[in-house]
Amino acid sequence: MKVFHLINFALIFLLLIGICIAEDLLVSNSLTQVQSYCFEIEQIVDEKENLKNIDVVLAVDNLEYNWTEDEKNMCFLVNHKSIQEIGQEVAKLKLYIASDDIEAFRVSLDLIKFYCHSYLHFMGANLYNVL
């Protein structure tokens, strides 16, 4: 009977570790993907004179769509208030395109990269999450 309890404990512990690893992979892949979109948008903006062109609009739309999809999945794993700043900054990017405010656009893009970089450090699997 004691062996049965130890096996159950080991299986539950391994399941929790698996869930934490899956969470870490989903969160880190999503945030890394957002960072890569930001770098891509940054390169496009460096090549163009203004924000009101199809390349920038499509890149921001692509970022917004992928972030919305990833945010839906991540809300099951992390507190939504922890990641809502990225969504707010993505919405600001669209406003800055409409007003053609390149400096504010770059600041907002840098904030998105900063949030992603920060979140990559504190979100993820650790022993505290398992216990």
Residue 126 has pLDDT above 70, yes or no: no
CA gap 122, 117 in Å, rounded:
9
Mean pLDDT (whole number) for 49-59: 87
Bigger pLDDT: 8 vs 129: 8
Read off the pLDDT of residues 111-120 as tens digits, 9 standing for 90 and up: 999 988 888 7
Average pLDDT, the chain: 84
Mean pLDDT (whole number) for 4-17: 89
Contacts of 93 (CB under 8 A, 6+ apart): 60, 63, 64, 105, 108, 109, 112
Q: What pLDDT is attached to residue 65?
A: 92
**Which pTM value belongs to this model?**
0.79
Q: What is the CATH number of the domain that holds 26?
A: 1.20.120
Q: pLDDT over 70 for what percent of the chain? A: 87
Read off the pLDDT of residues 74-95 as tens digits, 9 standing for 90 and up: 776 666 666 788 889 999 999 9
In degrees and rounded to multiples of 5, residue 19 shows phi and psi of: -65, -45
Domain that holds residue 122: 2-130
Q: How many domains does the chain divide into?
A: 1
DSSP state of 101: -
